[in-house]
A and B are shown apart, each in its own frame.
Chain A
Amino acid sequence: MTDTILEVKDMKKYFNSPKGKVHAVDGVSFSIERGSTLGIVGESGCGKSTIGKSILRLTEPSDGQVFFEGKDITEISKREMRRLRKDMQIVFQDPYSSLNPRKTVSQAIREPIVINNIIKGKDAINDRVVELMEMVGLDQRLYNTYPHELDGGRRQRICIARALAVEPKFILCDEPVSALDVSIQAQILNLMKDLQEQLGLTYIFITHDLSVVKFFSDRIIVMYLGKVVETASADDLFKNPVHPYTQALLSSIPVPDLEARKERIMLSGEISSPINPKNECRFAKRCRFVMDVCHESAPDLTEISEGHCVACHLLKTK
């Protein structure tokens, strides 16, 4: 019944630092159904971008497996991986630094088509570039312009067109609208949603912006210091957040509505160090419900209702 396109199993990514091992991602597992969107949220340093890069092997994961359409892609050669990147694309946060300033819009979009040998023949390629520009809402008159002549929204459209050029099945979006103004952000979000419907794309959407992730995702993973603390469908997570961190995170969002003022759960302190973390709940230091057991072991991710998993010792006390 379910058609899983991507599965991540117990992924770990440690970085060496002079003070010890940085546990950027520490045993994360999830899977995504074809045609759906998985949102990964968390604050700076929670490991959300590292997960993304590890899935595409832009950085090699320290441990764990990634299955794309049933195939373990952590095992395959670099060469094979390069071929597979046709199916797996990425759109980065900053459209200013992810485009070559010396390539025009059409050259930037043409490049992946040529490199991957998607279409042959100059005319056919040009037609495809024009078609892609149309798909992402870039005016034909911009064909020969350079990125510096365009605003952030248009640049992000180029990045999306370039990702689509190789006809991918899956696109990893790492904060694709964070650098954009709200009125432009809404244009890009709508565009990405339309493209998903038209082309049956699967997205991972990495962001720190909770209102964007709710609008955009089917399922959401909440991360804290390299670990998943809660995962649920978007609706369920916002209606019924269970983990104390998720609750605090949701209550911290400033809502542009005067009637919706609510009780705020203020977290004390800040994110602790991910270097050689102890075997305890990583949120224990900031948690308002902290108990002795939280310092004794790290809680496992446990299913509390269908599709809703939480990693918190509180669950056992109830």
Chain B
Amino acid sequence: MNSNDKKVLEVKNLTVTYESEGSVVEAVNGINLDLTARKTVGLVGETGAGKTTTALSLLGLVQKPQGHVKNGKIIINGKNILEMTEKELENIRGKEIAMIFQDPMTALNPVMTVGDQIAESIVKHEKVKYEEAFAKASELLETVGIDKARAKEYPHQFSGGMRQRVVIAIALACRPGILIADEPTTALDVTIQAQVLDMMKKLKDEYETSMIMITHDLGVVAEICDEVAVMYAGHILEYGVLEDIFNRTKHPYTEGLFNSIPDINDDKIRLVPIDGGMPDPSNLPKGCVFHPRCPYADEKCKTEKPELKNISETHQVACIAYDRPGFSLGRSNS
């Protein structure tokens, strides 16, 4: 992990479906994603965008029998995890790749002390004695800002923000190279969210971890991510570095997201929402998945499926409107 541009994670053409009683939900539809060492990539989108399913695939956690990883490759440190046995997966989960879940109230075991829960992963991966692992777990609690004397307490004795710190300590226990954070601060109050994000940033730098940050909050993205993938109905519609997405917005959906948020620095009288609602994932629109809600869509968008194309070295967009001469979005790009 010396080279600066080393890819620690490659997702190629990942396709995931959930099947039940004859209906097929197309959750993730052929996405590609690269994670470079020590970078943070944000997966942004609304309910049903396929963010969480993507994250679960990375850990081999898509629930069977309904869930099927149909296609694609997920390469972590040179190995395709889709071809691994359950045993091999167990060996990399927590060690090479770890996950922080959204809801700290349910992610922890209520009948196990927090110290034990952190130590569990250390014992599994580092082949050390329990006492040693527990001592290490207590140290980790200090690292995430909790008094180590509280290692023997149970999750219900902690507040929401504290529990999320414990979840983070568990994820970081074996210093994984890749951390997947699924809406880690969504359940927290803003002042606590600020504390937790700040801590995550510091620890990520200190541990040299690469991170995938799943969120619906563009404010959180601006805070913590280096690159952003905007997802909608299982597709990546726009991809780029932070400045590409925020200052050189190219996809109509990304524009719609920005226009929908009340901005505290701007005295908007009315918001400009995106028309309509999320498409039914078991019956996705033909052509561009966003066309029924897109203010720029024309006939061609109803039939032709846009590919994610490079428009600069760092910036990709999937929108065929750019084939039209002189096309640009309404959002004023600085």
Interface residues of A (CB under 8 A from B): 43-44, 151, 153-154, 181-187, 189-190, 193, 208, 210-212, 214-216, 235, 238, 248-261, 264, 266-267, 270-271
CB distance from B46 to the nearest CB of A (A): 4
CB distance from A27 to the nearest CB of B (A): 23
Whether B243 contacts A154 by the Cβ 8 Å rule is: no
23 cross-chain CB contacts under 8 A:
A43-B189, A43-B190, A43-B192, A151-B278, A181-B278, A182-B257, A183-B257, A187-B273, A189-B262, A211-B263, A214-B262, A215-B271, A235-B267, A252-B191, A254-B197, A255-B263, A259-B334, A260-B265, A261-B222, A267-B191, A267-B194, A267-B195, A270-B159
Interface residues of B (CB under 8 A from A): 46-47, 159-162, 189-195, 197-198, 216-223, 242-243, 246-247, 256-265, 267-268, 270-274, 277-278, 334
Q: How far is the CA of A266 from the CA of B273 in the complex (A)?
A: 32
Whether B277 contacts A256 by the Cβ 8 Å rule is: no
Whether B46 contacts A249 by the Cβ 8 Å rule is: no
Whether B218 contacts A190 by the Cβ 8 Å rule is: no
Contacts of A183 in B (CB 8 A): 46, 256-257, 260, 273-274
Whether B194 contacts A182 by the Cβ 8 Å rule is: no
Contacts of B220 in A (CB 8 A): 254
Q: How far is the CA of A235 from the CA of B271 in the complex (A)?
A: 17
Whether A266 contacts B198 by the Cβ 8 Å rule is: yes
Q: Which listed residue (B190, B216, B219) contacts A181, Cβ 8 A?
A: B216
Q: How far is the CA of A7 from the CA of B190 in the complex (A)?
A: 29
Q: How far is the CA of A256 from the CA of B47 in the complex (A)?
A: 19
Contacts of B221 in A (CB 8 A): 256
Task: Tell me the number of A-to-B contacts counted with CB atoms below 8 Å.
Answer: 122
Contacts of A256 in B (CB 8 A): 217-219, 221-222, 246, 258, 261, 263
Q: Which listed residue (B191, B195, B261) contacts A249, Cβ 8 A?
A: B191
Contacts of B274 in A (CB 8 A): 183, 186
Contacts of A252 in B (CB 8 A): 190-191, 193-194
Q: Besides the contacts A210-B264, A211-B264, A254-B197, what 5 more A-B pairs have beta carbons closer than 8 Å? A: A186-B260, A250-B264, A255-B265, A257-B246, A264-B194
Q: How far is the CA of A248 from the CA of B194 in the complex (A)?
A: 10
CB distance from B248 to the nearest CB of A (A): 11
Q: What are the 7 closest A-B residue pairs judged by CB atoms, nearest first?
A: A254-B219, A186-B273, A215-B262, A256-B218, A186-B260, A43-B189, A181-B46
Contacts of B192 in A (CB 8 A): 43, 270
Q: Which listed residue (A190, A208, A258) contacts B273, Cβ 8 A?
A: A190
CB distance from A148 to the nearest CB of B (A): 14
Q: How far is the CA of A214 from the CA of B243 in the complex (A)?
A: 26
Q: How far is the CA of A224 from the CA of B203 in the complex (A)?
A: 30
CB distance from A216 to the nearest CB of B (A): 8
Q: How far is the CA of A250 from the CA of B219 in the complex (A)?
A: 13
Q: Which listed residue (A238, A266, A267) contacts B264, Cβ 8 A?
A: A238
Whether A253 contacts B219 by the Cβ 8 Å rule is: yes
CB distance from B254 to the nearest CB of A (A): 11
Contacts of B278 in A (CB 8 A): 151, 181
CB distance from A243 to the nearest CB of B (A): 13
Whether B264 contacts A255 by the Cβ 8 Å rule is: yes
- Nearest to B246 among chain A residues (CB) is A258
Q: Which listed residue (B189, B261, B265) contacts A186, Cβ 8 A?
A: B261
Whether A258 contacts B257 by the Cβ 8 Å rule is: no
Q: How far is the CA of A216 from the CA of B269 in the complex (A)?
A: 9
Contacts of B162 in A (CB 8 A): 270
Q: How far is the CA of A267 from the CA of B256 in the complex (A)?
A: 33
Whether B216 contacts A182 by the Cβ 8 Å rule is: yes
- Nearest to B334 among chain A residues (CB) is A259
CB distance from B3 to the nearest CB of A (A): 28
Contacts of B160 in A (CB 8 A): 44
Whether A189 contacts B271 by the Cβ 8 Å rule is: yes
Q: How far is the CA of A3 from the CA of B216 in the complex (A)?
A: 41
Whether B264 contacts A258 by the Cβ 8 Å rule is: no
Contacts of A190 in B (CB 8 A): 270-271, 273
Q: Which listed residue (A151, A186, A264) contacts B272, Cβ 8 A?
A: A186
Whether B277 contacts A258 by the Cβ 8 Å rule is: no
Q: How far is the CA of A151 from the CA of B280 in the complex (A)?
A: 10
CB distance from B146 to the nearest CB of A (A): 11
Best-surrounded residue of B47, B194, B219, B223 (most CB of chain A within 10 A): B194
- A183-B257, A187-B273, A248-B191 as given contacts; A258 in contact with B219, CB under 8 Å: no
Whether B242 contacts A258 by the Cβ 8 Å rule is: yes
Q: Which listed residue (A44, A182, A248, A260) contacts B261, Cβ 8 A?
A: A182
Whether A255 contacts B219 by the Cβ 8 Å rule is: yes
Contacts of A235 in B (CB 8 A): 267
Contacts of B217 in A (CB 8 A): 254, 256
Q: How far is the CA of A31 from the CA of B58 in the complex (A)?
A: 53
Q: How far is the CA of A152 from the CA of B12 in the complex (A)?
A: 33
- A193-B270, A255-B219 as given contacts; A43 in contact with B191, CB under 8 Å: yes
Q: Which listed residue (A248, A250, A257) contacts B263, Cβ 8 A?
A: A257
CB distance from A263 to the nearest CB of B (A): 12
Whether B222 contacts A266 by the Cβ 8 Å rule is: no
Contacts of A154 in B (CB 8 A): 277
CB distance from B159 to the nearest CB of A (A): 5
CB distance from B142 to the nearest CB of A (A): 15
Whether A181 contacts B263 by the Cβ 8 Å rule is: no
Whether B223 contacts A254 by the Cβ 8 Å rule is: yes
Contacts of A264 in B (CB 8 A): 194, 198
CB distance from A142 to the nearest CB of B (A): 12
Contacts of B272 in A (CB 8 A): 186
CB distance from B326 to the nearest CB of A (A): 27
- Nearest to A181 among chain B residues (CB) is B46
- Nearest to B48 among chain A residues (CB) is A181
CB distance from B213 to the nearest CB of A (A): 12
CB distance from B181 to the nearest CB of A (A): 14
CB distance from A297 to the nearest CB of B (A): 24
